[in-house]
Amino acid sequence: MTQRFLPLTLWLLVVLVSLAGSAAAQPEAYNWKFGNQAGLQFPNGSPAIVSAPGAMSCYEGCASISDAQGVLQCYSNGQNVWDRTGAIMPNGRLSGSHFSATQAALLLRAPADHSMYYLFTVDAVENELRGGLRYSVVDMSLRGGLGDVRTNSSQLGNTLMTEKLTAVRHANGRDYWIVTHGWQSNSFYCYLLNAGGLVSTPVVSSVGSVYTGSNGTNPVGLNAIGYLRASPDSRLLASVQAQQAGVELFDFNPATGQVSGPRAIPATNQAFYGVEFSADSRKLYVSPINGSQVWQLELAANPA
């Protein structure tokens, strides 16, 4: 494995170009809502600033999703769900989640019903992660196509989860694994979303380091913070902890949802917050919580 430092402006350019290519191939990613009422569109695979800003102000994690024609459906900061007009859906105020979670919201289209979208949320360190992992179902056939939240904030299990939340495409190319990580444990929890709906019993893999630690009077420390991301080829997971130096890399089986082969990548003794794979799954980009630097890690030379 080799590593190199990238200036932050170059990092932003690399990520934007990579994600623009993804948006060109997937109309569901044509519209982004994020930050302080900010927005981007990818009408031709290239980013364009949205003239009509979104209604959402977002401190950390957020999600937006479009339909197969690239028409915005809804977006969320983990606490509210907005329709495409910028109004909060009538049943769109969520519970047990937090806008300050690293990966506060995740939106996925239902594999068997393109008018249904699943919204997954997690709680934050500020609330001691009490809410766990939850899901809501957005039905876009309601309110004349503007949608409504049909199932609101149903909790999956009773385990405290970190602020990590990502999705991995199943080996069949249709379904998804929803992946998160437990607190005070070394366990990944992988929930299957398939044509029959969401399977409530997860695949649990106990591998890698235990995510633990406190933060002053808060029994939940900053190791609950930091991104969990899957490689585009669905074969790798990368995870960082905001108090634990280095990166953990794992093998992922997209057919079974099992996580294995943990190895540590001590890129520097810097504790990281952001992590993302390159489009070819051969590089990893990581950044600290203040976003001041970015490291590029060459994974091709990293032994499994």
Q: Tell me what pLDDT residue 267 has.
A: 65
Per residue in 160-204, pLDDT (tens digit) is: 999 999 999 999 999 999 999 999 999 999 999 999 999 999 999
Distance between CA atoms of 243 and 246, rounded to whole angstroms?
A: 10
Per residue in 26-77, pLDDT (tens digit) is: 789 899 999 888 898 887 778 888 877 679 988 899 999 999 999 999 999 9
Pairing of strands 31-34, 247-252: unpaired
Burial per residue of 42-55, b for 16 or more beta-carbon CB atoms within 10 angstroms, e otherwise: beeeebeebeeebe
Per residue in 96-117, pLDDT (tens digit) is: 999 999 999 999 999 999 999 9
Q: Tell me what pLDDT residue 83 has.
A: 97
Q: Are 165 and 177 in contact (CB under 8 A)?
A: no
pLDDT mean over 239-250: 91
Q: Tell me what pLDDT residue 5 has.
A: 40
pLDDT mean over 130-156: 97
Distance between CA atoms of 18 and 6, rounded to whole angstroms?
A: 16
**Residue (of 279, 209, 204) closest to 246 by Cα position:** 209
The pair of three-digit structure tokens given for residue 188, joined into one six-digit string: 């990944």
Q: Tell me what pLDDT residue 215 has.
A: 87
246 or 7, which is more confident: 246
Is the overall model pTM greater than 0.85, yes or no?
yes
Per residue in 199-238, pLDDT (tens digit) is: 999 999 999 999 999 988 899 999 999 999 999 999 999 9
Q: Tell me what pLDDT residue 265 has.
A: 86
- DSSP for the chain reads -EEEEE-HHHHHHHHHHHHHHHHHH-GGGSEEEETBTEEEE-TTSS-EE-SS--S-B-SS--EEEE-TTS-EEEEE-SSEEEETTSPEEEEEE-SS--TTSTT-EEEEE-TT-TTEEEEEE---GGGTTTT-SEEEEEETTSGGGT-EEEEEEEE-SS--EEEEEEEEE-TTSS-EEEEEEETTEEEEEEEEEETTEE-SSPEEEEEEEEE---BTTBSS-GGG-S-EEE-TTSSEEEE--SSSBSEEEEEE-TTT--EEEEEEE-SSS-BEEEEEE-TTSSEEEEEETT---EEEEEGGGS--
Q: Tell me what pLDDT residue 139 has.
A: 98
